[in-house]
Copies of this chain bind each other. A is one copy, B any other.
Amino acid sequence: MMLNSTAKSALAFIASFALLVVPLVGRTGDLQNSATGAARLLPAASRLRELPLTAVQIQDPFWSPRLEVNRTRTLEHVYKELELTGCVQNFDLASGKAQGKFGGPWWADSDVYKWIEGASYVLALHPDTQLESKVDGLIAKIAAAQQKDGYLDTYVQLNLPDLKWKSLAFNHEMFCAGSLLEAAVAHHQATGKRSLLEVALRLADHLDSTFGPGKQAGIPGHEEVELALVRLYRLTGEKRYLRLAQYFIDSRGQKPSIFERQYEQLPERQVDLLGHPMSIKDFYRRFFLVNPAKFDTSYSQDQLPAREQRVAVGHAVRAMYLYSGMADLVYESGDSGLWEALQSLHDSVTNHRMYVTGGIGPSERNEGFTADYDLPNENAYQETCASAGMVFWNYRMLKLTGDARYADVMELSLYNALAAGVSLTGDTFCYVTPLASRGDFKRDPWFGVPCCPTTVARFLPALGRYIYSESPDGLWVNLFIAGQVNTKIAGKKVTLQQSGNYPWDGKIKLTVGVDAPQEFVLRVRIPGWAARAEFQLNGEEKLSPRVVNGYAEIRRSWSKGDTVDLTLPIQIQRLEANPQVVYDHGKSALRRGPLIYCLEQADQEAPLEQIILPQGAQLEGQYMPELLGGITVIKGQGLSRPLDDWKSILYRPARTANSSPLPITAVPYCVWGNRGLGKMAVWVDTTP
């Protein structure tokens, strides 16, 4: 069936409509699913639920090799670097079992926790006694470093013991705490062990006894603990953790800010700022004080109360964690004020401040947001942690609404900005991830601030989490990643097998497994970029499912072996940016399915800066099994600006250029930079 378009939200309610066409571009011309008007918050009982990680197996041509590299190479590499840089030893220093100098940045604990979280996901899916004992060893060190009162932050314990919780904008105590809580939940769910969970509970209880109404005022300088507390609440049912998360979110944006009040009490004492000595107060002044009279806390999203925030500001990773925590609270409580804020913030990010790759945060200065449409390419910051944050946040927005507009962004960020964050060999990473390069960019094995490698290590093994969701009446297919899901619907075992060669190909087969015929709704996302989608039941019957919020709903009594064949048109699109993005004037980007493409110098016959992609250029996909792990490249006829008559002249009166034809080849952005140094561009000069 074909899904149409201009009145999508109206059509969504007309199930009997013979011909439904999902828009190539919605009514607004957007590339994402964007039903008219605001997304609707589902009632609590209908909100999408996450399946256990072990319920999902991945056997996917695109992702399986990446997950295998992550498991066999990245995890080990990251562990080695954590050891080499002293991040592991910090726990022994804090417990008094070793002597030495604190290693890594002042939030190094979080990177160890993130590694444990990633390792736990791996253990859940691939039992591995060697890895498990490595994790156990680490947990023993962590537990030994924890104070009796539950406090745990080796940097503060070793360097600033008098400033516990007193310098929240500088120290990352709560970010580390959040990372620990997440790791502990993951570890417990993977192994059934409580060793790390007990540490986390003690720390969470310490947090809860320290902060809150009538106790000390505090908010995280780097958000993360909010969503982690909700996660711990979901595991334990302990409402104090949920309330504490709510307290942290509700306490942002005070006047004067909590950070400002803490700042007044701080000593001028110097600390080591990644190799440079700086006083803590200097750090505050640098990031928060615009001038002595004004404390600007937008860097940490502390400029307004959370429910009054409408525009995405400040450090991009911090913002993603805050918005994710807000979404988790909405999930638990239906908080309409936070939901209203989240919708505006989502509009701010995705319609005004996001790269075409789904990445965010253009500026190195604050590692974050600047102004609407300020999206430079060559010096795009687009931190990998922020790209992961886009997945975290959009996944939560999807769970709240069942609206594919969020799954579209999640897929965009996942397949492009985030996937580009790690090399195909799994041992080098992007911290900064530009959208254009003059040939001097490469991924690095490690960073003084190593958050991105540990983010990759913990993100990828949990990929299964995002593919499917459940609701009381059935199963949701959010992403087209081949493999299988095993679950229960209405108490009865259901499996769904997904096969295909996505994103290279648009044919996806879903095979249902049930013990006995069973009625439920299978909801399948139709990507916003897809001009039309066809559904076929059991290889014969064309289906015309109604489409609600970008999901095709197939409600029937399913029998074992029933198949649904989905055909998405994987076509090449030449994209243009809103003219307010001045950096992309006169340029196009190429998209094929969910993948954004780029031109790398290695594939071209002329210097990259000479290449023009004319309007109307014939472009076609060509699968190259030997190239970059097997990819579909885009080949076509471009134009070459003549350089020969320029010689070494720099400027001259404009004249008409005689461009000559030139074959060009584009590769997916997610695999760029895997062939040594070379020029790259996502946005390519075009002719109007």
Contact = CB atoms under 8 A, between A and B. Distances in A.
A141 interface: no
A407 B652 CA distance: 18
A231 to B, nearest CB: 31
Contacts of A350: 650
Contacts of A356: 650-651
A350 B651 CA distance: 10
A578 B651 contact: yes
B585 A609 contact: yes
A376 B282 CA distance: 31
Contacts of A354: 650
A24 B651 contact: no
Contact of A653 (B25, B347, B657): B25
Nearest to A608: B582
Contacts of A95: none
A579 interface: yes
Copies per assembly: 2
A239 interface: no
A84 interface: no
Contacts of A578: 643, 646, 649-651
Contacts of A371: 438
Interface in A337-363: 347, 350-352, 354, 356
B609 A579 contact: yes
B648 A347 contact: yes
Contacts of A28: 647-649
A278 interface: yes
A215 interface: no
B585 A653 contact: no
A293 interface: no
A28 B649 CA distance: 7
A652 B579 contact: no
A649 B351 contact: yes
Interface in A1-56: 24-25, 28-31
B609 A652 contact: no
Interface in A639-672: 641, 643, 645-657
B29 A574 contact: no
B30 A649 contact: yes
A147 interface: no
A652 B588 CA distance: 10
A650 B609 contact: no
A609 B654 CA distance: 21
A472 interface: no
Nearest to A529: B653
Interface string A677-688: 000000001111
A607 B277 CA distance: 45
Interface of A: 24-25, 28-31, 270, 276-278, 282, 347, 350-352, 354, 356, 371, 373-374, 376, 378-379, 436, 438, 573-582, 585-589, 607, 609-610, 615, 641, 643, 645-657, 685-688
28 contacts: A24-B653, A25-B653, A28-B648, A28-B649, A29-B647, A30-B651, A270-B277, A350-B650, A351-B648, A354-B650, A356-B650, A374-B438, A436-B582, A438-B582, A575-B652, A575-B654, A576-B651, A576-B652, A578-B649, A579-B610, A580-B607, A580-B646, A582-B609, A585-B609, A586-B586, A586-B587, A588-B654, A615-B654
